[in-house]
Amino acid sequence: MSRVWFNGALHIGALPLDPRERGLLLGDGIFETILVLNRTPLWANMHLARMEGAAKELGLGFDRDGLDDAIATILDGIDETHHVLRITLTRGAAVRGLGANGGVPTLILLLDRFDPDLMFQPVTLATSSFRRNPWSVTSRLKTVSYIDNIAAAREAASRGLEDALMLNTEGAVACSTIANVFLLKGGMLSTPAREHGILTGVMRQALIAAAGQLDITTEERAIQPQELISADAVFLTNSLRFIRPVKSLDLQPLAMADLGHLVNALCETARLQCGRDPRLI
């Protein structure tokens, strides 16, 4: 059963949202999704720092101390298994007009169980017809305006594939609908740079740090779609799934070099935070 924290306290039942709520009407808000293991939100400081930066850029009220208290409240008394914590912050209710300032920001925390069998699973990709705009704020920040990603995911599902590879407006690789993209070639890790229309994911940053500890060089650059076909391995990263090898792109099989060293490094980093290996149920 879900646990909900809403504007100051744990809440049971339907939320009393104002009909002028800008998150609902306009997608005027931001969010973070965090894996919780052993009652510990993993990489929490990185997630909340990213959220605070986005709030500042968009002019949303952000109370870090209040948010820390809300997280502690919603996690209090839960068991030690895998959970997913979704934090949503919006501008709140306001008068009509795109440039209007909201009143009190709306803060919602939602806690659900997470199935660890979803982690590390290979994935099939379909190249999407929807493009990421590198100049758009919705590409750089984790906003609740997710309609491009939703459309791409539905397009991939209509082809019987699990996720979509999204290119940017220049035709270079950007991301999947829910993850960053990496390719491994000759011992070098490559991933699209921020200016190519990506969200700089927390797990992406953790993977780059882990690779450095393994003396693996990582480069952030423009990646062309054809490079994925000739790579030793292609994989996705996000905060819930960690690493997902890509086994095919548009039904064409891809090479799948062993990524165990990277998986082990990420899991060890997680274990140091929460005292448990994420692979152990």
- What pLDDT digit, counting tens, does each position of 152-185 carry? 999 999 999 999 999 999 999 999 999 999 999 9
Give the residue numbers spanning the domain of 182: 123-274
- Of 14, 111, 105, the C-alpha closest to 66 is 105
Is residue 100 pLDDT above 80, yes or no? no
Tokens of 133: 């705009």
pTM for this predicted structure: 0.95
Cβ-based neighbour number of residue 1 at 10 Å: 6
Tell me phi and psi for residue 261, to 5 degrees: -65, -35
What confidence category does residue 93 fall into, taking pLDDT thresholds of 50, 70 and 90?
A: confident
**Would you say 247 and 235 are in contact if contact means Cβ atoms under 8 Å apart?**
no
Q: How many domains does the chain have?
A: 2
Answer with the residue of higher pLDDT: 222 or 93: 222
Same-domain status, 128 and 236: yes
Same-domain status, 93 and 136: no
Q: Is the dihedral of CA 63, 96, 15, 47 positive or negative?
A: negative
* Tally of helices (H runs) and strands (E runs) in the chain: 8, 15
Same-domain status, 137 and 100: no
Tell me phi and psi for residue 24, to 5 degrees: -75, -45
Choose one of 63, 92, 114: the last residue of a domain: 114
Same-domain status, 154 and 244: yes
CATH of the domain at 103: 3.30.470.10
**Mean pLDDT of the 121-146 span:** 96
